[in-house]
């Protein structure tokens, strides 16, 4: 489903150049649950941002089902990202003035969906599936950290993306809440076949993924496939 070839990213500033990604080749099949691990500063977040088309690479190509994302202009890339890729970040990035339900509806509204009632029904069904049926009319400030991340997961799933990219999704949660959130992601992968690529420092998370990719100094050092724990 995803093919990465020769991916490089260089940041240029007055003091010189910083090569963060130094030639990454990677294939991810539909339905995989992949953990990206490595020390801080090895390029995990940069890689996810470029993989999700939030940033442009310096060199190399990313193909989604054969489509080269470098062939898309900014407008086309925004539409592609909104429809094909879901995001869950360490900090949930919910809009504080809107309810949980309205936050989940947001990707559909931004994509130009006119049927608000259909969007509301879909968002409500997702929140109910994630255990938030009684919290959907609360604003983020009225929700716990784990509940806020569940809202962020529902928002990422609203438009049925091809892949969900999660950057340290449990990094701002306590251990028990983080485990519960990962249990949710694991269930979504197992039951609905959603593809997840998760950057994490949490060995409890990476240890349960069927594939673990270790990054060292902007490159893939190891790519291990195994039975999930």
pLDDT in tens, 137-176: 999 999 988 898 889 989 998 988 889 999 888 777 778 8
Domain boundaries, position 85: 2-225
Q: What pLDDT is recorded for position 195?
A: 93
Comparing CA positions, the residue from 58, 63, 60, 53 lying closest to residue 27 is 63
The number of folded domains in the chain is 1
Would you tell me the crossing angle of helices 175-192 and 145-157 to the nearest 10 degrees?
Answer: 20
Mean pLDDT value of segment 118-147: 91
Six-digit token pair at 191? 């039951």
How many beta carbons lie within 10 A of that of residue 128, not counting itself?
13
Q: Is the pLDDT of residue 32 over 90?
A: yes
Q: Is the pLDDT of residue 229 over 70?
A: no
**Which residues are CB-neighbours of 10 under 8 A, at least 6 positions away?**
17, 18, 19, 20, 58
Comparing CA positions, the residue from 77, 71, 85 lying closest to residue 28 is 85
- The length of the chain is 229
Q: What pLDDT is recorded for position 198?
A: 93
Q: Is the pLDDT of residue 103 over 90?
A: yes
Q: Tokens 């994490």 sit at which residue?
A: 200
- Give CA–CA dist 38/218, Å, rounded: 10
CATH assignment of the domain containing 163? 3.40.50.300
Q: What percent of the chain has pLDDT over 70?
A: 99
Query: What torsion, rounded to 10 degrees, do the Cα atoms 107, 108, 114, 117 define?
Result: -120
pLDDT, tens only, 180-214 = 888 888 888 888 888 999 998 888 888 889 899 99
The chain-wide mean pLDDT, for the chain, equals: 88
End-to-end CA distance of the chain: 24
- Give CA–CA dist 174/151, Å, rounded: 17
How many beta carbons lie within 10 A of that of residue 178, not counting itself?
22
Mean pLDDT value of segment 76-92: 85
List strands edge to edge, sheet with 219-225: 85-89, 163-167, 195-199, 33-37, 211-216, 219-225
Instruction: Collapse the DSSP code of 192 into the 3-class scheme (helix H, G, I; strand E, B; otherwise coil) and give the result.
Output: helix
């Amino acid at each position: 489903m995803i093919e990465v070839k020769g991916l490089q990213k260089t940041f240029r500033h007055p003091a010189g150049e910083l090569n963060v990604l130094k030639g990454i080749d990677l294939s991810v099949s539909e339905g995989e649950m992949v953990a990206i691990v490595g020390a801080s500063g090895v390029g995990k977040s940069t890689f996810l941002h470029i993989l999700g088309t939030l940033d442009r690479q310096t060199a190399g190509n990313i193909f989604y089902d054969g489509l080269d994302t470098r062939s898309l202009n900014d407008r086309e890339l925004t539409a592609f990202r909104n429809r094909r890729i879901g995001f869950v970040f360490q900090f949930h990035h919910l809009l504080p003035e809107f309810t949980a339900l309205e936050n989940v509806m947001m990707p559909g509204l931004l994509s130009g969906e006119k049927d608000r009632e259909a969007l509301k029904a879909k968002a409500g069904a997702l929140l109910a599936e994630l255990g938030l049926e009684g919290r959907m009319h609360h604003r983020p400030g009225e929700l716990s950290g784990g509940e806020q991340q569940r809202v962020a997961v529902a928002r990422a799933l609203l438009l049925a993306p091809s892949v969900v990219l999660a950057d340290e999704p449990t990094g701002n949660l306590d251990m028990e809440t983080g485990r519960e959130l990962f249990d949710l992601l694991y269930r979504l992968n197992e039951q609905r076949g959603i593809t997840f690529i998760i950057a994490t420092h949490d060995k409890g998370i990476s240890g349960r993924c069927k594939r673990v990719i270790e990054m060292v100094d902007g490159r893939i050092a190891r790519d291990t496939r195994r039975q999930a724990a």
